[in-house]
Structure 1
Amino acid sequence: MAKTPWPEGTKCVGKFQFKSSSGHHLPFNEGEMLTIIKATRDPQWYIAQNDAGRQGAVPTNCIQKFVKGESKLNLMPWFHGKITRLQAESLLSPPEDGLFLVRESTNYPGDYTLCLCTDGMVEHYHIRYRNGKHYKTNGDGLCTGLVKPKLEQKTVAVQDEFLSGGWVKNRGDLQLQRTIGQGKFGEVMLAYYQGNEVAVKSFKHCTTAQAFIAEGSVMMKLRHKHLVQLFGVIPEEDGTFYIITEYMRNGTLVDYLRSRGRTVLTNDALSDFSLHVCEAMVYLESNNFVHRDLAARNILLSEDLVAKVGDFSLTKKVSSLQDTNKLPVKWTSPEVLRGKKFSTKSDVWSFGVLLWEIFSFGRMPYPKINLKDVRILLEQGYRMPTPDGCPTEVYDVMKSCWQLDPDFRPTFESLKQSLLQIIH
């Protein structure tokens, strides 16, 4: 059956980069938006126009029809994060008028630098985030307009994964209800998606784009009964991005522990929470993922009190290097605090601290000890004492997680077996 031609004005997006030396063709980049002007006699080609007003023939096998919410997977892919001036100039080489990227400002932390090619060189502009589309339509003092973004390749690859995996959902199926929490990147809301209760994380800020997208990317690779499950993502035209996950009615484990306390929760219940988390970590361990932020605040409880590991914003493959900025010191292993790489064994250390949180009913670890003193004390051999009422066998498990040499710490599989013996 012949394909029905797209009518004039149809919006489409580049599936792949298209280059051509022919003057009547319209080159475009992957993710670039185009508007169909008319069909041609050849069903394999359309005449289209880009945002700069240039027209030409485009091949149908390199474009796809724009569906609201899908094309904006190029969520600020021109933002390259914390790179230097020289690195930016290298990425923009050879310079092409209008080629641009945005990076974090090295001189003004919290602000951004627009790096824009003109006349064979790269100009650097100090900017503040307001509206990501402003300079695309208004020169407003720039040496030239923003014609062609230099795409951040890792982000583009992740966006392709969302699309090909069927994770992009329709905004019309999502009904936001009310704010139920605050995440690292933005608020967390209760919502309904196709009639089901869900939790929705949202953000609208370019500095967190890569980290936020990366969290969704990790979640779509992982599926386990004790991991918070991803349902989908929704990118909006205005730059808003939503991650849709299962709704955990009883909130975070740390809040639940603090609000119930020892008068309500038994050691059996605490052991169940511990085992649930450990089983999730066995799964991550077996798939070579390191969570990097294991703590009671990042464990969520379902309506029937099933504990599930959440917040995958820092989760990485084992081979990834760690970022030493803004580490949760009281949960972080000594070797990571010394500047070494995260590993499964650093997650084991954090799990020991999490066990201490659980059996102390949500107390802050290292009570009455200044944050700056924690690392020094750990290197000197200090370990937190057993929480009141904590079974000796459980405290022994904690201490095994806190071996200074990570090679001497147990695996999560062996921790699981230890907990099963304690419970049964």
Structure 2
Amino acid sequence: MNWAPGTQCVAKCDNRKAKPGELLYHKGDILTIVDTSTRKGFYAARHNTTEEEGLINSSNVREREALRVDPGLSLMPWFHGKISGPTAVGKLQPPQDGLFLVRESIRHPGDYVLCVSFSKEVFHYRVIYQDNKLTIDNQQYFYNLIDMIEFYSKTKGSLVTTLVTPRKKQGAKSAEQELSKTGWLLDITKLILGENIGEGEFGAVYRGEYMGQMVAVKTIKCDVTAQAFMQETAVMTKLQHKNLVRLLGVILHKGLHIVTELMTKGNLVNFLRTRGRSVVGPAQLLRFSLDVCEGMEYLESKKLVHRDLAARNVLISDDSVAKVSDFGLAKMDSKETDKAKLPVKWTAPEALKKEKFSTKSDVWSYGVLLWEIFAYGRQPYPKMSLKEVKEKVEAGYRMEAPEDCPPGAYAIMKLCWEQEPRKRPGFSKLREKLEQELSKTSPSSAAGSQEAAKTGLRS
């Protein structure tokens, strides 16, 4: 085995009695290779949660695999969609106590039916949807089907028996099993949930602590959304870069919880708006621009299109590094879009018009993000309605440079806003141009700017 530094591994067994210089770990712990060791068969590694470093025996760990992006991967493998009662009975043969499935009710559209085998009979429980909650008996209420199945797998409640064995829909694979097998499933009992730090379109985001590490937890309670996010999470398991917000794992409990590293300084828009010119100088702005560009260059190398690149989706770490977030929503293909939800001011003309999303449409958005950075978080196209923006941009209008914006930075923005996608540079070219710009700012101003950004954070 020849693992490069940065490779993540899962411990196959405990190493509780570590010898001097060795790392202490338990089965299932995630460890990151730091270096090869002089000792044959050993690696120097860092524990992902305790952050301690030491030697590990390569035979005691396996590489943490990325999840396969598989349309069959399901958080609800027991959900069979719209099938009739007799069909459900047929699927629950031969009889087995606690064998179950959930189907959509044909007689009562919008409701579900839980079908359970017990004493050679199949019992059908209507699941009523009311006030955004689900219930079978008007006593126990659930956020979603995942929550309900979790509950009745532990307690029989009003059912004839507890749920024991799910009858999987043909072709469905249990996301829980796959996550567990590949080492991405985290343990809810080790999570301490803290304050709410944001409301997303899909659910709330909380500050938390997982085995001593500060984390952000995105909770998704809607079944359908959680299922969609499962596919996105599979994409995130493949990506590792210093300028992308890192996925730490997933917790399945009353829905889906996506656990990422905590970015203590919030998003880039608020960061710039609350600090302003006195704290953040041009060199720091260029550094943020470069950080985002490097993250996007990496996504480009993986043939991933972000589709919603904007300063609100860039987060700032404790040591003032900008990282791209919500890239899990990136699509490998670019077919489905909801036009009503497109962020008009950031979306390239061809994507608005013909729904053509590509790395080159991300480059356009990146140009708008640069404008936001050098305008210290101002809203782009100030005082213009979305309709005006659409029409004027299509006709060739481009924003003026923000106040005090270095001419070189504005020149880069304009390159990103070429009407024809093929004329826009790729992210590697943009990175070279930004590096040249940064080299023009004197080293002292660059260092001073970073220091100011750090101190400004804590004020």
TM category (shorter chain) comes to 0.5 to 0.7
Is the counterpart of residue 334 in structure 1 residue 349 in structure 2?
yes
Q: Please give the secondary structure, in 2, of the residue aligned with 1:232.
A: strand
The equivalent of 2:88 in structure 1 is: 97
Letter in 1 for 2:133: R
Letter in 1 for 2:181: S
| Post-superposition CA distance 1:72-117 (Å, at most 9, x none) | x95345779xxxxxxx76xx599813576559xxxxxxx9465999
Gaps of 5+ in 2: 1-72, 90-100, 116-126, 135-143, 160-165, 440-459
The equivalent of 2:208 in structure 1 is: 191
**RMSD after superposition:** 3.3
Is the counterpart of residue 285 in structure 1 residue 300 in structure 2?
yes
Shift of 1:423: 0.8
Shift of 1:336: 1.1
CA distance in 2, matches of 1:126, 1:325: 31
Does the CA contact (< 8 Å) of 1:295 and 1:354 recur in 2?
yes
The equivalent of 2:63 in structure 1 is: none
The equivalent of 2:192 in structure 1 is: 175
2:395 corresponds to which of 346, 360, 380: 380
TM-score by length of 1: 0.68
The equivalent of 2:66 in structure 1 is: none
CA distance in 2, matches of 1:76, 1:280: 33
2:379 corresponds to which of 360, 364, 379: 364
| Post-superposition CA distance 1:205-239 (Å, at most 9, x none) | 22321233233222211000000001111101xx2
TM-score by length of 2: 0.63
Does the CA contact (< 8 Å) of 1:162 and 1:217 recur in 2?
no
Does the CA contact (< 8 Å) of 2:345 and 2:381 recur in 1?
yes
Does the CA contact (< 8 Å) of 1:100 and 1:149 recur in 2?
no
Shift of 1:176: 1.1
| Post-superposition CA distance 1:330-368 (Å, at most 9, x none) | 111111111323111111111001000000000111110
Is the counterpart of residue 296 in structure 1 residue 311 in structure 2?
yes
Q: Please give the secondary structure, in 2, of the residue aligned with 1:418.
A: helix
Q: Please give the secondary structure, in 2, of the residue aligned with 1:290.
A: coil
Q: Please give the secondary structure, in 2, of the residue aligned with 1:316.
A: coil
CA distance in 2, matches of 1:312, 1:229: 10
The equivalent of 1:130 in structure 2 is: 133
Query: Do the aligned partners of residues 165 and 370 (structure 1) sit closer, same or farther apart at CA in structure 2, a change above 3 Å counting?
Result: same
Is the counterpart of residue 228 in structure 1 residue 231 in structure 2?
no
Q: Please give the secondary structure, in 2, of the residue aligned with 1:294.
A: coil
Shift of 1:178: 1.4
The equivalent of 1:423 in structure 2 is: 438
Gaps of 5+ in 1: 1-72, 81-87, 104-110, 118-124, 141-146
The equivalent of 2:368 in structure 1 is: 353
Is the counterpart of residue 309 in structure 1 residue 324 in structure 2?
yes
Query: Do the aligned partners of residues 126 and 197 (structure 1) sit closer, same or farther apart at CA in structure 2, a change above 3 Å counting?
Result: closer
Does the CA contact (< 8 Å) of 1:185 and 1:212 recur in 2?
no
Does the CA contact (< 8 Å) of 2:290 and 2:435 recur in 1?
yes
Q: Please give the secondary structure, in 2, of the residue aligned with 1:177.
A: strand
CA distance in 1, matches of 2:193, 2:157: 34
Letter in 2 for 1:195: G
The equivalent of 1:200 in structure 2 is: 217
Letter in 1 for 2:208: A
Query: Do the aligned partners of residues 138 and 253 (structure 1) sit closer, same or farther apart at CA in structure 2, a change above 3 Å counting?
Result: same
Query: Do the aligned partners of residues 115 and 324 (structure 1) sit closer, same or farther apart at CA in structure 2, a change above 3 Å counting?
Result: farther
Letter in 2 for 1:75: L
2:404 corresponds to which of 385, 389, 399: 389
Q: Please give the secondary structure, in 2, of the residue aligned with 1:383.
A: coil
Shift of 1:243: 1.1
Q: Please give the secondary structure, in 2, of the residue aligned with 1:271.
A: helix
CA distance in 2, matches of 1:212, 1:409: 31
| Post-superposition CA distance 1:125-146 (Å, at most 9, x none) | 9955422457999999xxxxxx
CA distance in 2, matches of 1:93, 1:342: 40
The equivalent of 2:444 in structure 1 is: none
Q: Please give the secondary structure, in 1, of the residue aligned with 2:329.
A: coil
CA distance in 1, matches of 2:196, 2:230: 21
